Amino acid sequence: MIDKTEDQSNLFYEIFIKGQDYKDVLSKKELWKLIAEKLNGEFKIKQTVSRDINTLILEIPYKNQLVILTESDTRPLKSEINMDLIEPFEFSISWEGGIEKIMKIFGSQDIQIGDQAFDKKYFIQSNNSQRTTTILSELKELILKHKIYTINLHQEKSEQHKLLITKDRNSNTVEEIIGLIELNFRLIDFLVPKN
């Protein structure tokens, strides 16, 4: 016999304790394993000490760089690369919302790349607008197709650069996740000096 009190308690825990942003990422485990096999990567699952939050981690090597994808029960799909760049190049693109519109009113830079659909959707800042425009002009279709929220390249105190890309929580297909990985590969091609 099913204990309805326990079922109701679990439902309460899922919705209210963990919050409405909770999504069980373990349902994507086989998908991430398949991508790791296809791209010669390494797949891991990390859990909190209490085992109530899971994080999927996928590490994909590409041209002496390591693309690290993560998604947890409470955090969106992200990719991260730490890289050594010759120049102090930085840029940030994000979906244009209320905060970005206010920033523009107060004079914050918003680079336009000359594509109406892209320029309307994204707020772009950089310390080298010409280089940023060149890169984004080449990658705009991929960014729009895969509904990327943010791309941020910044130099850390260690002098190393960190590239972070954030996507949505609804990426459930091989094509979507490989699209994000491909975007990382293309950015590496643009950013990392060829040996």
24 inside domain: no
Rg of the Cα atoms in the chain:
19
Tell me, yes or no, whether 33 lies in a domain.
no
Q: What is the DSSP string of 101-165?
A: HHHHHTT------S-HHHHHHEEEEES-HHHHHHHHHHHHHHHHHTT--EEEEEE-TTS-EEEEE
The verdict on residue 1 lying in a domain is no
Q: Note down the domain range covering 168.
A: 60-191
For residues 80-108, one letter each, b for 16 or more C-beta atoms within 10 angstroms of the residue's C-beta and e for the rest, the string is ebebebeeebbbbbbebeeebeeeeeeee
**What's the pLDDT at 95?**
83
Residue at 161 is within a domain: yes
CA distances, 30 to each of 56, 113, 149 (Å)? 11, 38, 25
Sequence-separated (6 or more) residues with CB below 8 Å from residue 113: 119, 124, 133, 136, 137, 140
Residue 154 falls inside a structural domain: yes
Reported as a single tens digit per residue, the pLDDT across 90-147 is: 999 988 765 545 555 545 556 788 888 898 889 899 999 999 999 999 999 999 999 9
More confident call, 180 vs 156 = 180
Q: Residue 166: beta bridge partners?
A: 78, 150
Judge whether 45 lies within some domain.
no
In 3D, which of 154, 88, 156, 148 has the Cα closest to residue 123?
148
The pTM score is 0.82
Q: Does any domain span residue 7?
A: no
166/176 Cα distance (integer angstroms) = 13
CB 54 within 8 A of CB 73: yes
Strands 150-155 and 122-126 turn out to be unpaired
Q: pLDDT, tens digit, for every residue of 6-31?
A: 444 444 444 444 444 778 889 999 99
Residue 160's region, left for phi above 0, alpha for psi from -120 to 50, else beta, is beta
- Mean predicted lDDT score pLDDT of the chain: 84
Q: Is 169 domain-assigned?
A: yes
How many domains, in total, are found in the chain? 1
